Structure 1
């Protein structure tokens, strides 16, 4: 929860330029709605306790439409949606590489939701994700709903900070890598170096760190099979342990960011 709230505060500050969204203030502002949404969810599914252990919570901060110039957090409405966390895709995992990019990589907004829908229509039915490639340089950015990384010579490569919308899952993955001396380099994976990759992955809330088995490049017709390096499983386990450590009790009114 702390990582998610920090990202929400950052996005809010970027969206309402000139406004400051302190993390503590955002936490206090959204948590009552989160508690209410989770409570309603459990009430609706109380007969299915075996299925409600993991919930995905979506929080939306939206400027009040009745205010011509929203200036701060109190001018924003909070919308919270709670749902069962979807099961991660089952192997083998196949992705395709498509040309495209996010115009504003620092903000998850509704415009991007529409743009990625159009790109997603090019995806084949057996493909789990589309990873975006730069228009001319072969740099690989991110998935439509995930982050992307590769392993080369035992080093994890993922795009530079600020060039993609860095999800909370990737942030936590990078943190456990740093804490456990797993080397990470913030450079774009390059499509023309694909045969040097020891493995590739996508990451998101529902996928954690999900190794990729097959990469398709429709432009060239190339299809590459990738191995699954043992370090991916190691990182995934470290991630799960760290996620539990960083969790927040949403039911307690005295919940803390720490």
Structure 2
């Protein structure tokens, strides 16, 4: 099995030091219309060839991950991050999620019709987790090597890398796309953040479908300047998830803190969400699989809340903002429970480091 050489390794002291020391791009004055940092795209130009015969094309640009996803036909995608620059956190989980998303997606000219046999055949190796591993890991290795050697902008500091990859398909003419994107990983905010409430739930939350990247563009444009994320809710004020994150509330139940989060049949299980759940299990923190209610939050029934994602890790929320007449919801004090989970997730992240270089 190819990933035998990409097994979990004990993180080095240098890797530990890098957690939290990710890249923050600073500009003088307004940031409007300024380019993103330089990034690299690697694409396999013969994606149906055996892994040993793979040929890659490298492109340098200033696109962010969303622009990268949208530059390809609809597909399954994921966003990961390096640990200590040479490993990728939760790589196997990212591979599984991408392969599984492809299995959940369907490509046909008529949604009511089954996929053509040619599509089934073309995508079969990518819908098989092991065969997908055999193809994506060498491409990530080639991309990281190229990015570090020729693209990464040096400033005298060591930075982690945002690693995004996608497997897409175009029906006419039939074409598989397999590509990855490498860019500096921005530092998450050091304090608590504000989030907006303005989006509705996704139609197909179980699949990491790049169509969602297209659908959420309007929400991105409407997001308040100070908002870190947009929460997706229904008409009853039930919180599902963020546009690109999972969401948790902390309540006090029977004298002990309890996490509340939407059921997994309604949201996508993120890689950092899995770490949060592991931490809760280890610390015997109960988890209630039910929608967090904004009504409860407005009545002061939450100790706090947070979002989780690859780039944010565990990010506490200070203010929930509404774009209508409803007053904002403030959380005046820091939740000790959330802070404990945040610190434990950073440690858990190191345990999931899989060597690529």
TM > 0.5? yes
Q: Choose 179-188 or 34-43, whichever is displaced more.
A: 179-188
Following superposition, the deviation at residue 66 of structure 1 comes to 6.3
Distance of aligned partners of 1:46 and 1:151 in 2 relative to their CA distance in 1, 3 Å threshold: closer
Quick one: distance in 1 between partners of 2:155 and 2:283?
36
The residue correspondences of 1:148-167 to structure 2 (distance < 5 A) are 148-153=247-252, 154-167=257-270
TM-score normalised according to structure 2 size? 0.64
| Contact 1:45 1:52 (8 Å CA) reproduced | no
From the CA coordinates, give the structure whose radius of gyration is larger: 2
2:201 partner SS: coil
Following superposition, the deviation at residue 233 of structure 1 comes to 1.8
Quick one: distance in 2 between partners of 1:143 and 1:99?
9
The structure whose RCO (Cα within 8 Å, separation 6+) is larger is: 2
| Contact 1:9 1:23 (8 Å CA) reproduced | yes
The residue correspondences of 1:93-242 to structure 2 (distance < 5 A) are 93-134=193-234, 136-153=235-252, 154-194=257-297, 195-226=300-331, 227-242=333-348
| Contact 2:98 2:208 (8 Å CA) reproduced | no
Following superposition, the deviation at residue 47 of structure 1 comes to 6.8
| Contact 1:157 1:187 (8 Å CA) reproduced | yes
Distance of aligned partners of 1:190 and 1:54 in 2 relative to their CA distance in 1, 3 Å threshold: same
1:173 partner SS: helix
1:248 maps to what in 2?
Answer: 354
Quick one: distance in 1 between partners of 2:306 and 2:153?
36
Following superposition, the deviation at residue 49 of structure 1 comes to 7.3
Quick one: distance in 1 between partners of 2:328 and 2:161?
35
Quick one: distance in 1 between partners of 2:226 and 2:153?
34
Two-structure CA RMSD over aligned residues (Å): 2.2
| Contact 2:247 2:308 (8 Å CA) reproduced | yes
Quick one: distance in 2 between partners of 1:46 and 1:79?
18
**Residue among 4, 27, 34 paired with 2:133:** 27
Distance of aligned partners of 1:43 and 1:144 in 2 relative to their CA distance in 1, 3 Å threshold: same
Following superposition, the deviation at residue 250 of structure 1 comes to 0.7
Quick one: distance in 1 between partners of 2:326 and 2:293?
17
Following superposition, the deviation at residue 145 of structure 1 comes to 1.5
Q: Which runs of 5+ in 2 are unaligned?
A: 1-90, 107-114
1:219 partner SS: coil
Quick one: distance in 2 between partners of 1:64 and 1:111?
13
2:76 maps to what in 1?
Answer: none
The number of aligned residues is 244
